[in-house]
Structure 1
Amino acid sequence: MEELPEQVRNNLPEGGQEVFKEAYNSAYEEYADPRSRRDPDEPREEVAMRVAWSMVKLDYTKNDNGEWVKKE
Structure 2
Amino acid sequence: MPYHRNGELPESVRSHLPAQAQDIYRSAFNNAWAQYGRPECHTSGTREQTAQKVAWAAVKRRFEKVGEQWHRKH
Q: In structure 2, what is the Cα distance between the partners aligned to 1:6 and 1:66?
A: 16
Aligned length: 69
Q: Which residue of 2 aligns with 1:69?
A: 71
**Percent of paired sites with the same residue:** 36
- Output one character per residue of 1:6-65: Cα deviation in whole Å (capped at 9) or x when no partner: 0110000000000000000000011100011123xx2100000011000000000011x3
Runs of 4+ more than 4 Å apart? none
Relative to the length of structure 2, the TM-score reads: 0.88
Larger-Rg structure: 1
Match of 1:47 among 46, 50, 55: 50
Unaligned runs of 5+ in 1: none
Q: In structure 2, what is the Cα distance between the partners aligned to 1:12 and 1:31?
A: 24
Relative to the length of structure 1, the TM-score reads: 0.90
Q: Which residue of 1 aligns with 2:24?
A: 19
Secondary structure of the equivalent of 2:56? helix
